[in-house]
Amino acid sequence: MRYATVADLAAHLQIPDAVDDAILETALKAAEGQVDAWCRRTFDVVDPDVDATATRTFHTSGTHLDVGDVVAIDAITIDAAAVEEFTLWPYNADQDSRPFQTIVFDRHVHGKVEVTGWFGWPSTPPEVVQATILQAARLAQRRNAQFGVAVVPGMDGTGMRLLAKLDADVELLLAPYRNKPVLI
């Protein structure tokens, strides 16, 4: 699991044994996929001291290049020429345990840009961990919700709720991490 463990989910659900571990693992994988899809990004953790670099290719014309989530940059080339002068935005991302997302060049650039670095996150945000656990718990308990309906006590002792979408608390936890859609 990338964001939470089976042990995390079992503790949340107060399951004392390993009998349901396979179900919990499946629920966690599905919840992680839902988190990634809703946020339009992944929260894979990379460590420049341990992990290998990756190279991604972009085409740009301007001074700003959005590169997605990147922890650190090892090298940049524009049309095979090395680039030494650039700034990563947001400025204090590394101090806030967040990735950089934009390269700002000191001059207008045009052409094929190759960026070699560590793409991902320095650590998984606690909100993402909690959202994954909440959504996975909901999915794991779905087997007890006949026809996708969960019984939720109302004021008069009755009530029900459809379970067809992402949990509202999960959406609130993830909202600051959601990428805007790319319009083409």
> In the chain, how many domains are there?
2
Q: Which domain holds residue 76?
A: 54-119
Based on the fold, state whether residues 109 and 155 are members of the same structural domain. no
Query: How far apart (Å, rounded) are the C-alpha atoms in residues 105 and 129?
Result: 34
- The verdict on residue 77 lying in a domain is yes
Based on the fold, state whether residues 39 and 12 are members of the same structural domain. yes
Give residue 2's pLDDT: 87
For 30, phi and psi rounded to 5 degrees? Answer: -65, -40
Kindly tell me if the per-residue pLDDT of 107 is higher than 60: yes
What number is the average pLDDT over the span 25-34?
97
Based on the fold, state whether residues 66 and 101 are members of the same structural domain. yes
- The verdict on residue 158 lying in a domain is yes
- The verdict on residue 182 lying in a domain is no
What number is the average pLDDT over the span 18-22?
93
Query: How far apart (Å, rounded) are the C-alpha atoms in residues 142 and 180?
Result: 30
pTM > 0.85: no
Based on the fold, state whether residues 102 and 80 are members of the same structural domain. yes
Residue 180: band (very low, low, confident or very high) from pLDDT cuts 50, 70, 90: confident
- The verdict on residue 170 lying in a domain is yes
What number is the average pLDDT over the span 39-55?
96
Residue 44: band (very low, low, confident or very high) from pLDDT cuts 50, 70, 90: very high
